[in-house]
Chain A
């Protein structure tokens, strides 16, 4: 458990998150308008989204399916009866004057998410609930010197609000929670998890207390749109609260805003948060009643999720927990890895894992390429692994071959052939090279004979140089010892 050191002693930080995840769906929660990111303002707005008089919401069933899938993925209770309510408040980007949301009866109840912490340990964080709601539009303050413009493209887009229990104790756990949640959502195909596009945002609830004491007063920092910012918000807010209490003040229960430029939080004006939302069941909509059989069918159709995949990778491939965790974080990476291991003969899974997390990740990061668009696809990497395994090329040469594959998109075998990179495992050829080097360097031979074992490495280097790296290193070592006897 991580603690914050204050002037007067240690403090424990208690954190809960409310994540707003945009549901992947063709249309909005209650209208047929499209939901694509980055469209021209007000081009994806139906009469319902603009709250024209007499317009009525009609529930998009895909949104329900996505919410239920997500609930199942979080091992949560699926509520077969749930109710949409109206949350009433005035704002120009909220055309109806209310947001349709779920309040007393959400579609998903309690569940859990297992965090993989950087030290290799795991921690379970409780999920309080998941409910569906409409997103609001966007106010554009930079289009006119004194007026605000409204873009309603997002108005009515389906969000899942996923509320955690106050189970996190550090910024690090908050990071792990968001990463894991995003991973699960992407596996399920229910949210892109793309925080830059705003398809995943979070509100961070923070309080501090002396170890063992009751929960302190919490603040809610709104609309944090990256994992890094969420961690910064926690750190700043915890320190601010500790300082406030230690200086004889108190923490005020309030809504705060994160300032990404300063990495700090500030209180919203009182008026912005003084809401009585007057929730009541939306009379335009019927209660959502799910069929238990339908839910069971969705459950059967769920993909293998990261936790299960990680367990399997450790068991089946003998990977370390760390490597398995890295490989399963993204569904596409895990699929790439499995496909690279599966093809060909008996490929070495650990070696495959090293190549994926090493050379491949390095190249992807360097070039900013998604794994799905990698010029070295899983089959090609598998081909490279086979050449290493059967001794055709050495591990060292393999790096060069990989780079050439990345550049050209060609198969490993073709490159090895083309560039003549085949490993020299012919003892006659190696012996000939050895004889030459020994004959040319009597001094070094002398040093070895007088007990300097390190010189052996120098000889190996000479041979590799002479063979342009192609000599089989194991054979070189073995023959060298024999010759120098």
Chain B
């Protein structure tokens, strides 16, 4: 049998159900993996004692025949989710010492389903970044290495700690949040399945806000089935989040029929970018062939406003962030750097508490909302957003899902691109449209580059039709047969 910490969610669930091992044993294996993987810096806070308590409680529930959908499964939680009694930092100095007296709805749902918390994962500060290099708690390393290249690589971001934890086989699954692609992009470059559900599918209550109209929680796992299982536990209407949608949560696992015959898959020509690496272009063609071989029909479609998505995103997201982050003022919680006057206290606290990338986005956001610039930037970006949604709505009149690459490149070295924020923002180019339009998107590991780094393909689905999206993703997963392991696997 595989080592316990290397099991998928589904395999661990089945092993637990059969009594092959206990939740305590499974959790112990993950705790040991977490300790051995510390050089990756994937966790900000490890909670081994709590994990073992939760695992023992899970074993007790199972003994009474009360097993939930994730009973006994250890999970890593992105440090953007507030966890009652456990330090929650959002990767920022400004939340120093902040221990929430409340539990986010999504994590509460996971614990109700029986899951066990291993710890809180590292992330780009306030989820702003695509490489996990903006955290106050340091960079996260990708467990993957390029062939013949020993440089440490980025795990993607902002859910980089979660991605590294799952890729390195510390945990079978982790939560992430995706505002512009920051579940799907790290999944792509760490060889994982990463899914952003439809906006409104998972409650945002208790998730530290970055850009409220774009933020959505989702799972990072090593397989599509695991992704389906986790989403089933995370999702659901929450009256505490006015933007959460009150519709039933389907059985996502049951949607994985492997049958895509008759489905029409859109291939958007606008995603064929100048200068895109041939490997990604080739992978996309493979994806088309795999789906056609499985009986789907692929259709060339046009999403004409795609090229405006990234600029619109980098107006809307900072605008909302500039307002969402105003509450970190040193008055009530977290860091306070004293000053002689109120304004000096604000300036010192926010000046020291926020890193450069957060400051950059707060300033951009403040600028685009300012009198005199509002219409030219913020309002125009909102209109672009409407057009992007219309592109998708029209496309989905003819197709059932859309296939694109997930990211324009594989993992790059820590230190690369760091002096060029615009180049860094380009990482989100294929993922941002789904956030702007609220649609679900999933990245599936599909191939390795020539030097052995993972690449993903993205499936975008109709709003609240995660089932079809998952079904297509499952077929891609099977066809790709991705089974490569990263250079670093915990415990090996």
Contact = CB atoms under 8 A, between A and B. Distances in A.
Given A53-B82, A54-B208, A280-B369, A98 B329 contact: no
Interface string A53-85: 111111100000000000000000000000000
A143 to B, nearest CB: 15
Interface string B311-343: 000000001101101110101110000000010
Contacts of B308: none
Nearest to B367: A278
Contact of B369 (A51, A88, A90, A148): A88
A92 B329 contact: yes
Interface string A272-313: 000010111001111000000000000000000000000000
Interface of A: 47, 50-59, 86, 88, 90, 92, 95-98, 148, 150, 276, 278-280, 283-286
B72 interface: no
A148 B331 CA distance: 11
A92 B82 contact: no
Nearest to A139: B342
Interface in B258-280: none
24 contacts: A53-B88, A53-B98, A53-B209, A53-B333, A54-B208, A55-B205, A56-B205, A56-B241, A86-B323, A88-B323, A92-B342, A95-B331, A96-B327, A97-B325, A97-B326, A98-B326, A278-B322, A278-B366, A279-B369, A283-B211, A283-B212, A284-B209, A284-B243, A285-B243
B320 A276 contact: no
A56 B204 contact: yes
B320 A283 contact: yes
A1 B313 CA distance: 56
B331 A150 contact: yes
B208 A95 contact: no
B250 interface: no
Contact of B327 (A56, A57, A95, A286): A95
A53 B326 contact: no
A286 B244 CA distance: 10
Contacts of B213: 283
Contacts of B371: 276, 278
By Cβ-Cβ distance, the 3 closest A-B pairs, closest first, are A97-B326, A283-B213, A278-B369
B205 A96 contact: no
B206 interface: yes
A222 to B, nearest CB: 19
Given A95-B331, A97-B326, A280-B323, A54 B370 contact: no
Given A278-B322, A278-B371, 5 more contacts: A53-B327, A54-B82, A54-B208, A56-B240, A90-B346
Contacts of B28: none
B329 A90 contact: yes
B102 interface: yes
Interface string B198-215: 000000111111011100
B436 interface: no
Contacts of B326: 88, 90, 96-98
B90 interface: yes
Q: Interface residue tally of chain B, by bracket?
A: 35 or more
Contacts of A283: 211-213, 243, 320
A2 B116 CA distance: 76
A280 B323 CA distance: 9
A283 B212 CA distance: 6
Contacts of B207: 54
A284 B104 CA distance: 16
B323 A276 contact: no
A98 B323 contact: yes
B189 interface: no
Interface in B107-158: none
Contacts of A58: 239-242
B100 interface: yes
Q: Which of A54, A55, A92 has the most CB of B within 10 A?
A: A54
Contact of B206 (A50, A54, A59, A148): A54
A86 B12 CA distance: 46
A86 B213 CA distance: 14
B329 A286 contact: no
Given A53-B82, A276-B371, A280-B378, A59 B242 contact: yes
Interface in B352-395: 366, 369-371, 374, 378
Nearest to B95: A53
B82 A97 contact: no
Nearest to B207: A54
Given A59-B242, A92-B342, A284-B243, A51 B332 contact: yes
Interface in B267-312: none
Contacts of A47: 101-102
B323 A53 contact: no
B242 A56 contact: yes
A58 B213 CA distance: 15
Contact of B242 (A50, A96, A98, A285): A285
Contacts of B240: 56, 58
A251 B355 CA distance: 45
Contacts of B82: 52-54
A50 B104 contact: no
Contacts of B332: 50-52, 95
A57 B239 CA distance: 10
A57 B319 contact: no
Contacts of A97: 323, 325-327, 329
Contacts of B204: 54, 56
Contacts of B342: 92, 148
A79 B95 CA distance: 41
A278 B95 contact: no
Contacts of B81: 54
A53 B378 contact: no
Nearest to B98: A53
Given A53-B98, A56-B242, A278 B323 contact: yes
A53 B329 contact: no
Contacts of A90: 326, 329, 346
A54 B243 contact: no
Contacts of B378: 280
A185 to B, nearest CB: 28
Contacts of B370: 276, 278
A280 B102 CA distance: 29
A54 B95 contact: no
A175 to B, nearest CB: 36
